[in-house]
Chains A and B, each alone.
Chain A
């Protein structure tokens, strides 16, 4: 069965510092991978996705993620944190081969940006 592990339920960074949010997946074949962001009292918004084209994926708001098959990872990064990046971030996986199209989400990482 597929699963997603997000290391660190809370991450704090200073404004202007590098943001690194970790995601590891478990799947028999490389799945589709996603990062979503959730602001308070809002739904989930797609940041970026990996669908087997380029392994380095660029998303909105300056975020990017790199798919590493050897490490079964899809970590999210941003070179310089802004106060507006404070939110909860979810990594998700979807099987591309089984014919099931559901999404399995990680437990989320709450990002705090310090002034």
Chain B
């Protein structure tokens, strides 16, 4: 398997524009996570899905952020409108399922977002 695939790797956009980040989890994984990494706040969990259903979105900063998982092989994180403070590296991760043998998350390479 190619691992968790995120696109684009880099995104530069102007303030006010809509930004969509994409993620393809590892095939067969039941859980998908979106994290944001900044120098100030470290790694923050934004939202996670189980079997395509959002389970916990308490980390989503505000209504400008939305995430969807229309099927088991694709998820998007959308920011509309974007602001300079949204600049960060956004990671997607997936996990096989529950149980002792399926405890770790596998991370993508991340999308570095810069809002100017």
Which residues does chain B contribute within 8 Å of A42, judged by CB atoms? 109-110
Which residues does chain B contribute within 8 Å of A101, judged by CB atoms? 31, 48, 50, 95, 98
**A51/B48 contact (C-beta < 8 A), A101-B31, A108-B42 known:** no
- CB of B104 within 8 A of CB of A49, answer yes
Interface size class of B (residues with CB under 8 A): 20 to 34
> In the docked arrangement, what's the CA distance between A66 and B70, Å?
41
**A44/B91 contact (C-beta < 8 A), A49-B104, A104-B45, A105-B43 known:** yes
Total A-B pairs, Cβ < 8 A: 50
> In the docked arrangement, what's the CA distance between A49 and B100, Å?
11
**A49/B107 contact (C-beta < 8 A), A101-B48, A101-B98, A102-B56 known:** no
- CB of A90 within 8 A of CB of B43, answer yes
Question: Does A80 sit at the interface, judged by CB under 8 A?
Answer: no
- CB of A102 within 8 A of CB of B107, answer no
> In the docked arrangement, what's the CA distance between A106 and B37, Å?
12
> In the docked arrangement, what's the CA distance between A45 and B93, Å?
11
Q: Which residues from chain B sit less than 8 Å from chain A, CB to CB?
A: 4, 31, 33, 35, 42-43, 45, 48, 50, 55-56, 91, 93, 95, 98, 100, 103-110, 112
Q: Which residues from chain A sit less than 8 Å from chain B, CB to CB?
A: 32, 34, 36, 41-46, 49, 51-53, 90, 94, 100-108
